[in-house]
Structure 1
Amino acid sequence: MSDKTGTPIRDAATVIVLRDRESRPRVLMGQRGAGAAFMPNKVVFPGGAADAGDAAVPLAAPLTPLCAARITEDAVSSHPNVLATTAIRELFEETGQILGRPGDWPGTPPSDWTDFAATGHVPDASALQFVFRAITPPGRPRRFDARFFLVDAGALAGDPDDFSAASDELSHLQWVALDEVRAHDMPFITEVVLAEVAARAADPEPPASVPFFRNDDEESLFLRLGKRAPLSGRA
């Protein structure tokens, strides 16, 4: 998919890992580098664009039917579990955290998954909850159709404070309390997503409807997947 200027709009997935729901909720965030082409210096959640190899990766368990149905709504192509796989890969690459079950891969993993497979785990999407979708506005050097997934830190396979296996894509990895998160330099859309996360922090169930910040070439709309009416009209 591309916009009218020919800029490709790539599928992407972002992961919001939440811990301490019942006391003082915190989310896992890191800082993008100053030289990054997209959102330099910003504090963000781990995430990135889908890779071709993600479609060939086996899942120990898929997304829930509700989350899969919401992802396919108003989408050009239907590949909810591929986006979930992307989310798991990006989480591992950028933080070293594993969302998976112990097990053997049925064949040779794609090159981007070699290190994940070496941990002895197969990716597991069952704990991911689809909670937000946003398309990057026109005029940006890169545009993404990003799906945001929420997952409880209790679903991680290892120590949630161990970032020793992380790449250098994000620096200053840390658990940020929701009541202090606005002290950080974040993209606008991250602030919007965090407001949704804060509202859902006490509810462990996946949402029946999902906010969708749709930026077309002509207009921007806040919609809700699962409900056809706009949330607040044109932005």
Structure 2
Amino acid sequence: MGQEDARIRERPIADPPIRNAATVIVLRDAASAPKVLMGQRGAAAAFMPNKFVFPGGAVDAADATVPLAAPLASGCAARLCADADPALATALVTAAIRELWEETGLILGRPGAWDSPAPQGWRGFSRTGHLPTAEGLHFIFRAITPPGRPRRFDARFFLVEAEAIAGDLDDFSGAEDELSHLQWIPLAAVRGFDLPFITEVVLAEVAGLLRQGLPPESVPFFDNRGPRSEFQRLR
């Protein structure tokens, strides 16, 4: 092997760019026997293969153009805008609603007609006769994927109680195939599933919110933008 080949092999691989993302925790029967909606990622997935996760994914450019029938509550919106401009904050909320629809077929929306044709990624949602709404969504967690992973996300986690969902909570027939084994998992049993570490941390936060009530007084933030991981609380 020549010196040039050795230098190429020793050259560190650059981390992928950090993409903005939104995740939705749907909570069912919160007052009696709380359950959360989760599904399993495929074995061939580049990010978190085989893990059970909440619905979610990266923000699309079109998400910022989609109007909401009702906005996020003012306190949650203020925290969301702490490190994000208002346009991105809106896109994060709409991305959460779109990802929930795409990955589970569940609709977080109000009945109504769109004023203009829905953009790519939203056409199926619009055909249900609903407008996306942020009513009932609570911004409860933020985490940036640590360096060294094949994909990195700046993920904001939103909690919504199942009563805000339009339609049958057990009908996943409209879901795309990104998540399999979609199911309502009791909080008491969820740690028996194969979960990513950050999902376990978020579930602990959800359990705390069930005791303390919503909205949260502050939002945990695992910040991995720099060389060292930092924990903050957004107030």
Q: TM-score, normalised by structure 2?
A: 0.92
Partner of 2:199, secondary structure, is helix
1:132–1:149 CA contact under 8 A, matched in 2 = yes
State the one-letter code of the partner of 2:122. W
Q: Which position in structure 2 is the counterpart of 1:72?
A: 81
Alignment of 1:89 with 2:110, yes or no, is no
Per-residue CA deviations over 1:210-229 (Å, capped at 9, x if unaligned) read 00011123110111001xxx
Q: Take 1:203 and 1:95, find their aligned partners in 2: how far apart are those partners?
A: 28
Matches within 5 A, 1:94-105: 94-105=103-114
Q: State the Cα deviation string for residues 6-32 of structure 1 (Å, max 9, x = none).
A: 621110000000011111100000000
Name the count of aligned residue pairs.
222
RMSD: 1.3
TM-score calculated relative to the size of structure 1: 0.92
1:45-90, Cα deviation, whole Å (9 max, x unpaired): 0000000110111110110110111111134x44222101000000
CA–CA separation in structure 1 for the residues paired with 2:166 and 2:203: 24
Runs of at least 4 residues of structure 1 off by over 3 A? none
Q: Does 1:192 align with 2:201?
A: yes
The reply to whether residue 128 of structure 1 matches residue 141 of structure 2 is no
1:173 to 178, 182, 193: 182
Which one of the candidate residues 16, 26, 44 is aligned to 1:7? 16
Unaligned 5+ segments in structure 1 are 227-235
Q: Distance in 2 between matches of 1:74 and 1:220?
A: 17
CA deviation map 1:186-231 (0-9, x unaligned): 00000000000011124552112100011123110111001xxxxx
Please, which of 55, 72, 75 is the counterpart of residue 46 of structure 1?
Answer: 55
Q: Is the 8 A contact 2:15 2:147 kept in 1?
A: no
Percent of paired sites with the same residue: 66
Larger helix proportion of the pair:
2
Instruction: Please identify the structure whose Cα radius of gyration is greater.
Output: 2
